[in-house]
Structure 1
Amino acid sequence: MPDIQIERRHELGLKAARDIARRWVRQVEEDYGLSCSYQEGETQDLGLFSRAGVEGRVEVSADRFRLHATLGGLFGGFSEQLEQRLRKKLDELLGGAGDEEDDAYNDKDWL
């Protein structure tokens, strides 16, 4: 099964990073029908997400985001495209400018 691993450093602090992570979790839950949970920790939070063919987690700390997803079934064949979209979305949420051009696919087509 293909894995996607994305890590981004930031200087937001835990409170601001937590706000961004919670927004991301709500967005993917609504947009893609993922089952999500979010657990706050003292120094690190953990968001879990899953649905048929997709399972993963996002770890959030004061200076880093780590996303890990395992793709199975039909999603496995789209791992590169999904990883590019996830990187772009995370960069947008963190305030970075994505260098990649959008293509003809709608984000919701992938999950």
Structure 2
Amino acid sequence: MSGIDIRHPHALPMAKARKSVEQVAAKLADRFGVTYAWSGDTLGFNGAGVDGKIDVSPDQLHVTAKLGFLLTALKGPIEAEIRRVLDEKF
């Protein structure tokens, strides 16, 4: 399995950061059938070929994901899209 590991700084209050992360997760759920749930300040998500989490701390987000075989070939574009969305939201 291939992996994604992105750390992204932010300056939002925790409540607003969590809300923004949840908005992104909701879009992923609509577009790709990903399911997600919060456990403390960590949003876990999974779907066909992906299993990951987003840890929200007061000054950064940490996105980690394991990609299944079929998504491994798309790791670069997936990572680029995650970075683009993080730059847009945070």
- TM-score, with structure 2 as normaliser: 0.92
**Contact 1:5–1:69 (8 Å) recurs in 2:** yes
Structure 1 match to 2:30? 30
**1:79 is the counterpart of 2:75:** yes
CA RMSD of aligned residues (A): 1.0
Q: Which amino acid is the alignment partner of residue 44 of structure 2?
A: L
The one-letter code of the counterpart of 1:23 is Q
Q: Which protein has greater RCO, CA pairs closer than 8 Å, 6+ apart?
A: 2
- Secondary structure at the aligned position of 2:54 is classed as strand
Deviation of 1:29 after TM superposition, in Å, equals 1.1
Alignment of 1:1-111 (within 5 A): 1-39=1-39, 41=40, 45-94=41-90
Residue by residue, what CA displacement relative to the aligned partner does 1:58-77 show, whole Å, maximum 9, x if unpaired? 00112110100110121011
In the alignment, residue 12 of structure 1 is paired with which amino acid? L
Partner Cα separation in structure 2 for residue 47 and residue 74 of structure 1: 23
Given that 1:15 and 1:62 are in contact with CA atoms closer than 8 Å, whether structure 2 keeps it comes out as no
SS at match of 1:30: helix
Q: How many Å separate the matches in 2 of 1:18 and 1:50?
A: 18
Give the residue type in structure 1 aligned to 2:34: L
Which has the greater radius of gyration? 1
Question: Percent of pairs identical after alignment?
Answer: 30
2:73 is paired with a residue of what secondary structure?
A: helix
Larger proportion of strand: 2
Structure 1: where are the runs of 5+ without partners?
A: 95-111
How far 1:52 moved relative to its partner? 2.0
What is the TM-score with the length of structure 1 in the denominator? 0.76
